[in-house]
Amino acid sequence: MNFGNRTPTIVVLKEGTDSSQGRGQIISNINACIAIQETLKPTLGPLGSDILIVSSNQKTTISNDGATILKLLDVVHPAAKTLVDISRAQDAEVGDGTTSVTILAGELMKEAKPFLEEGISSHIIMKGYRKAVQLATAKINELAVDITSNNTDSRELLERCARTAMTSKLIYSNADFFVKMVVDAVLSLNRDELDEKLIGIKKIAGGAMEESMFIDGVAFQKTFSYAGFEQQPKRFTDPKVVCLNVELELKAEKDNAEVRVEHVEDYQSIVDAEWQIILDKLKQIEDTGASIVLSKLPIGDLATQYFADRNIFCAGRVSTDDMIRVIKAVGGSIQSTTTEIQPEHLGTCKLFEEIQIGSERYNLFKGCPKAKTCTLLLRGGAEQVIAEVERSLHDAIMIVKRALQNKFVVAGGGAIEMELSKHLRDYSKTIAGKQQLMINAFAKALEVIPRQLCENAGFDAIDILNRLRMAHSNGEKWCGINFETEDIDDNFAKFVWEPALVKINALGSATEATNLILSIDETIKNQESQSANAGMMPPQGAGRGRGMPMQ
């Protein structure tokens, strides 16, 4: 036989590289994403269950927050990681709806799977989904209600949005208490910026959840203190506050410094000079008239005693975050030197006090006139409980923030999903071809939210979905699930409200993730090194291993 014209085999990829492609690869990726969806499904809604996750270092977390669960699951499948990413993006962008967006993305992929198995091109499915999400987004914008158009008190509207965000959380039984706290916290921020990072959250173990406190200023844990601290006053009314980035401590010689002296008097003059430098600094601080001295750097025992003798409170080693928030609350600015401190550089508040909370002591700055920040002191019986309370409050804070920025809301409890589903089904009847099937599949996927809400609550999902479909076909656009009566109801009238932005973002992210998975036609996975000797040449005299190229 003539082998002269045969093209030689060219090996481009390293031996051991796993390469899989084609329709089977897309379906395999979809199955991985559906597995993630199945994990999160039971946590959706007001009657969803929590998941207990034990990490590799044996730290336990109890949560029903989608983003938190996915972050702790340590997903290794490359395609399934896209669901983790969209969940985190939803958390960062709008703060809530992290479980919904993952479940929705998984359902869109599940609906696309039969079409792929029948041989329909993934690009046709992607085109249909893109059209469907455009129609759905336009419909949300059309349906969304501007909550500022009526004369209702805006605070009341924000409280309703916060309450809806808490329905599926651990703190729902204490919703009345926490709703007020969340709205107060967001309203204390600068309206132009609304930077939620300026809401300080401190977790203090022990006590009941309702013993949590809202501080209209700053609170931070008592810093490391030296002898003389106990003699300082711990309560001031209308104090002046000076914030420093200066170390007030006698410094020992360092860096192998060497000072040569010929007489004992010379050595004494060096010691005296050191003392004089720090005493001058302390006198300059005292002359400012400040009653409270805070510093990012240590305040030593000499300075602590000096301030105690003059009825001045001091705290050193204050963290940068706490110091920034103190400045935001009391006014003034951080000084890097003790000279030339002017009155405008000092801050003030109505009340400063150091109090015992649980087993810790906290410094509280209350009634700050320039406050653009606040602090929430959270209590709870167990560390995991307080951590979940913090995550729940974060979601509610983000929802209230978005409601302030974007005044449009829609009804929750599966109402908006059912209305969008009806709208897309009606549209699909007006077009022909394969796109009709794709838009219909998108409409069917939207029903996963109300269906899962029913299943988690133990309701008859088929019965309630049929009643919801009938109600929406009769024009009841805000009809959703009523968890109290196990029936359907007008959720807008019952104030189950969610910012329209949450739904728009969730739909867009879920569709993008689905289209990304559908567009992956090939996966190439490089084999990881199996041992320390991987890649080394075999020893002399060793035979050829299987798969080694012949010379």
Whole-angstrom distance, CA of residue 173 vs CA of residue 175 = 6
Residue 94, Cβ density class (10 Å: 0-12 exposed, 13-18 middle, ≥19 buried): buried
Assign residue 212 a region (left: φ > 0; alpha: ψ between -120 and 50; beta: otherwise).
Answer: beta
- Which amino acid would we find at residue 346? L
pTM for the whole structure: 0.73
Using alpha carbons, list the distances in angstroms from residue 48 to 277, 532, 545: 64, 47, 55
- Which amino acid would we find at residue 407? K
Cα Rg of the chain (Å, integer): 32
- Confirm if 45 and 452 have CB atoms less than 8 A apart: yes
Whole-angstrom distance, CA of residue 318 vs CA of residue 244 = 10
Catalytic residue among 43, 98, 102, 511: 98
- Per DSSP, helices labelled H in 288-382 are 301-309, 320-330
**Helix and strand element counts for the chain (H, E):** 16, 21
Catalytic residue among 43, 61, 65, 137: 65
Catalytic residue among 395, 489, 511, 514: 395
- Antiparallel, parallel or unpaired: β 218-221 and 213-215: unpaired
**Has domain 154-216+377-406 been given CATH number 2.60.40.10?**
no
Residue 524, Cβ density class (10 Å: 0-12 exposed, 13-18 middle, ≥19 buried): exposed
DSSP helix/strand/coil, 53: strand
Domain spanning 18-146+411-525, CATH class: mainly alpha
Catalytic residue among 99, 102, 348, 373: 99
Pick the CATH number of 218-370 from 3.40.50.2300, 3.50.7.10, 3.40.50.150, 3.60.140.10: 3.50.7.10
Whole-angstrom distance, CA of residue 314 vs CA of residue 544 = 75
Neighbours of 150 (CB within 10 A): 8
- Antiparallel, parallel or unpaired: β 51-54 and 60-63: antiparallel
Boundaries of every domain in the chain = 18-146+411-525, 154-216+377-406, 218-370
Q: Could you tell me which of 321, 369, 320, 348 has the C-alpha nearest to residue 242?
A: 348
- Confirm if 215 and 374 have CB atoms less than 8 A apart: yes
pLDDT tens, per residue, the chain with 551 residues: 555 555 555 656 555 555 556 677 888 888 888 988 898 888 888 888 888 888 888 888 888 788 888 888 888 888 888 888 888 888 887 777 888 899 999 999 999 999 988 988 889 999 999 999 999 999 999 998 887 655 455 777 788 888 888 877 777 788 888 888 888 888 888 777 777 778 888 888 888 888 888 888 888 888 888 887 888 888 888 889 999 988 888 765 445 567 777 778 777 887 788 888 888 888 888 888 888 999 998 888 888 998 999 899 999 899 888 888 888 888 888 888 888 888 888 888 888 999 888 888 888 888 877 667 888 888 887 888 888 888 888 888 888 888 887 778 888 888 999 999 999 999 999 988 889 999 999 999 999 999 999 998 888 999 999 999 999 999 898 999 988 888 888 888 888 888 888 899 999 999 999 999 888 877 666 665 444 444 444 444 443 333 334 33
Whole-angstrom distance, CA of residue 86 vs CA of residue 259 = 62
Q: How far is CA 523 from its chain centroid?
A: 31
Domains 18-146+411-525 and 218-370 share a fold: no
Residues contacting 106, CB < 8 A, separation 6+: 33, 34, 36, 37, 38, 83
164 is catalytic: no
- Confirm if 14 and 548 have CB atoms less than 8 A apart: no
395 is catalytic: yes
DSSP helix/strand/coil, 221: strand
